[in-house]
Amino acid sequence: MLDSRELYQQIILDHNRNPRNFRAIPAPSGHAEGNNPLCGDAVSIDVTLSDHVITDVAFQGAGCAISRASASLMTETIKGKTRQEALDLFDGFRDLVTGAAEMSDPGPLAVFASLRDFPARVKCATLAWHTLRAAIEGTTETITTE
Ligand code: ZN
């Protein structure tokens, strides 16, 4: 039997090796780039919005396993959500990884809960979310976690 921490580790490694929605969207409604200089993670997010609903989201970039897995799981989690639901999930996710509060119904994002013991990696996990928010809100500056 795997304990949950080992299982979570395997899910993260799987998303790192086979990231979901790893592509560009032609003519997206929103696009943003993000950097985490602390670790060297870089991500770009494309999003398609239709009536405030995220109908498609994709990412590209290079970085550590945590940053790639987080971006991959994020795209799977937010597709079909409204813009506001996605921003609320970001708030919950940030609470989850920092340990500030429990996230209600984290779903697959629970795999990142153990990061609260590794504060230096929190920026790796939140980079894609910060960048998503910029893509949704139409920010054109490159996002940095620093
Ligand atoms: Zn990283």
| Unique residue bearing structure tokens 């032609």 | 26
- Model confidence over 7-44: pLDDT tens digits? 899 999 999 999 999 999 999 999 999 999 999 999 99
| Residue 127 forms part of a structural domain | yes
Rounded CA separation 43/34 (Å):
5
- Report d(CA 21, CA 48) in Å as an integer: 13
d(CA 19, CA 29) in angstroms, rounded, equals 22
Domain for residue 126, yes or no? yes
Residue range 58-96, pLDDT digits in tens: 999 999 999 999 999 999 999 999 999 999 999 999 999
How many angstroms is it from 63 CA to the middle of ligand 1? 6
Distance 70 CA to ligand 1 centre (A): 10
**Cα 50 to averaged position of ligand 1 atoms, centre (Å):** 31
The average pLDDT across 50-64 equals 96
Contact, 78 vs 86, CB < 8 A? yes
Q: Is residue 72 part of a domain?
A: yes
Q: Quick one: pLDDT at residue 2?
A: 62
Rounded to an integer, what is the distance from CA 105 to the centroid of its chain?
16
- Whether 146 is in a domain gets the answer no
- Taking only the tens place, the pLDDT of each residue in 96-144 is 999 999 888 899 999 999 898 888 899 999 999 999 999 999 877 788 8
Cα(133) to centroid of ligand 1, in Å? Answer: 19
CATH number reported for the structural domain that contains residue 45 in this entry: 3.90.1010.10
List all residues 6 or more positions away from 59 whose beta carbon is below 8 Å from its beta carbon: 19, 21, 22, 43, 44, 45, 46, 71, 72, 74, 75, 128
The verdict on residue 71 lying in a domain is yes
65 domain residue, yes or no: yes
Q: What angle do CA 104, 106, 125 make, to 5 degrees?
A: 125
The count of structural domains within the chain is 1
Domain membership flag for residue 103 = yes
Residue 1 has pLDDT above 60, yes or no: no
**What range defines the domain where residue 25 resides?**
4-141
CA R_g for the chain? 14
CA distance 33 to 75: 15
130 CA to middle of ligand 1, Å? Answer: 14
Residue 52 alpha carbon to ligand 1 centre in Å: 30
Q: State the greatest distance between any 2 C-alpha atoms of the chain, in Å, as a whole number.
A: 47
The answer as to whether 92 is a domain residue is: yes
